[in-house]
Structure 1
Amino acid sequence: TWELIRKASNMGIKVAGISFHAGSQNESPLKYIEALEYCRDICTKAALKKIDLEIIDIGGGFPINYLTPVMPMAQFCSPIIEYIERYFTNYTVIAEPGRVISGPTMALAARVMGRSRRNGVWWYYLDEGLYGSFSGKMYDHADYPMLSDRTGKRYNSVIAGPTCDSIDVLYENVSLPLMETGDLLVFNSMGAYTSASASNFNGFPKAKIVTVD
């Protein structure tokens, strides 16, 4: 990065600053501190060469709760803010929060299209799958919290999507009450990396998005 900045400056190109991305759904604030330390070293070298960097962009990647809870956002950001206030007071620092804003804003209601019992395990087939709104499970390894209004004895179950593809399996070894065709399951935290990467594979349409005020 420093070599690029130096060469750009020598060519008369104005370099505004440095940006980095610590990784999507990154659960450790120390990754940001590590990247900021690298930025600090570059800024020091730039200042010695009288290259005036102005902006530090720390990107996004801030985590949200899926099946596994993550650190509260205020606690997560505290060491990052402390480091920025100590070493980057003369810079404009920006962030690009995406998932942490959009993720919790949507829930998905999926209907059970059918069921079968295989080797003592209940399989439930939904009208949504990996090729639809659950694409985040494939590309982003997200496990969305699942809710059912069914009660009673629970059984070892598998949740699968509607397509003929053998990889269209959403959850395995989950404990669920006995469900019937037509039942609804609700999945929370579905606002990021879901419908954006969904497709109409096998002729199944993308989920309809409904806005609730």
Structure 2
Amino acid sequence: MSLSPPSFAHIHIGHVLSGWSDTPQRQGLLRIALQDARVAAEHAEYAVQGARDLNSVRLHLGHVVQALDPALEPQGPGSGYGLVRALGGLSEHLGYAGSVSDASAALKAGLPPLIDGLQPLRREALLLTALTREGRRVADPGQALAYAQEAQQRCQALETQLAQLGQRLQALLAAENPPYSPVAERYLFGLIRLPSGEWGFAERRRSAGSY
């Protein structure tokens, strides 16, 4: 059985799919993004359902803001990481995966279109943040409902598009040779960038399986 570490490219993919050091419970960035996109879509829908009660509309629009960017609204049911930040992390780590020297030809060709697809999703998340914050400020219930309805439509579309992008990534990985497999935590969280710009592993002090 080989004890060789996975490729640097696959480790960066692992940060997307399996775990990253600064996410809640060190979950993968894509999982966090999907989770917060789902919360935003659900609470935009709740805001529409609460149309007869302005306070309810404002409450749930606040939950949408929290799922998108908890720095602007810390209280809510989202992960606490935020969709905007997660989408930025996805672009960053997919970029690393496609640019390292050991990336396969398929990753070098297939990842840039995925990264390009993330850019409009992040812009949409930023727009939704502004939209829902404005919707919370209006005093007219009819106007608040109009904001909630647009937020609902946009959040649902964003969640769908993000899920489709995840499926495209899985399809790309299915063609990898050697195949992609989940990356062990010692590699996920032991990877460091050297001053030269190259990648390496933090010194493992006790054994080959620890760091």
Superposition TM-score, scaled by structure 2 size: 0.29
Q: Which has the larger radius of gyration?
A: 1
Superposition TM-score, scaled by structure 1 size: 0.28
Per chain length, whose mean CA-contact separation is higher, i.e. which structure has more relative contact order (CA < 8 Å, sep 6+)?
Answer: 2
Higher helix fraction (1 or 2)? 2
